[in-house]
């Protein structure tokens, strides 16, 4: 059964105003993405919010982009490590 948090992630939310709202939004996005919370992930969410047009935020879209960025970072490192062994 899907969790309430997962179901709510389909509903767009307002952009955060203030640090406490931003921190709540980051926590929701990080939880949805499954990526660990650290300064890098907070920075990613901040950059994503800066690049969005004014209006509502789709948490699922940012969570998916965060997960993709983490995957890409690992893939690039694996490629670099493989090239170093040659």
How confident is residue 14, by pLDDT bands cut at 50, 70 and 90? very high
pLDDT averaged over every residue in the chain: 90
pLDDT in the model for residue 7: 84
Q: How many domains does the chain have?
A: 1
- Residues 83 and 86: their CA atoms lie apart, in Å, by 5
Which structural domain, as residue segments, surrounds residue 59? 4-85
Q: Please give the pLDDT value at position 64.
A: 95
Neighbours of 62 (CB within 10 A): 23
- The pLDDT of residue 2 is 61
Residue 1 — very low, low, confident or very high, per pLDDT cuts 50/70/90?
very low
Reading phi first (left if > 0) and then psi (alpha if -120 to 50, else beta), residue 55 is in left
With a cut of 70, say whether residue 13 has pLDDT above it.
yes
Cβ pair 43, 1 in contact under 8 A: no
Distance CA 14, CA 12 (A): 7
pLDDT digits (tens, 9 = 90+) for 17-63: 999 999 999 999 999 999 999 999 999 999 999 998 888 899 999 99
């Amino acid at each position: 059964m899907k969790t309430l948090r997962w179901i709510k992630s389909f509903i767009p939310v307002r952009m955060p105003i203030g640090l406490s709202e931003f921190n709540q939004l980051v926590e929701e996005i990080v939880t949805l993405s499954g990526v660990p919370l650290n300064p890098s992930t907070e920075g990613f969410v901040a950059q994503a919010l800066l690049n969005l047009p004014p209006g509502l935020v789709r948490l699922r879209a940012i969570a998916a982009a965060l997960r993709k960025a983490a995957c890409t970072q690992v893939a690039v490192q694996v490629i670099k490590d493989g090239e170093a062994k040659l």
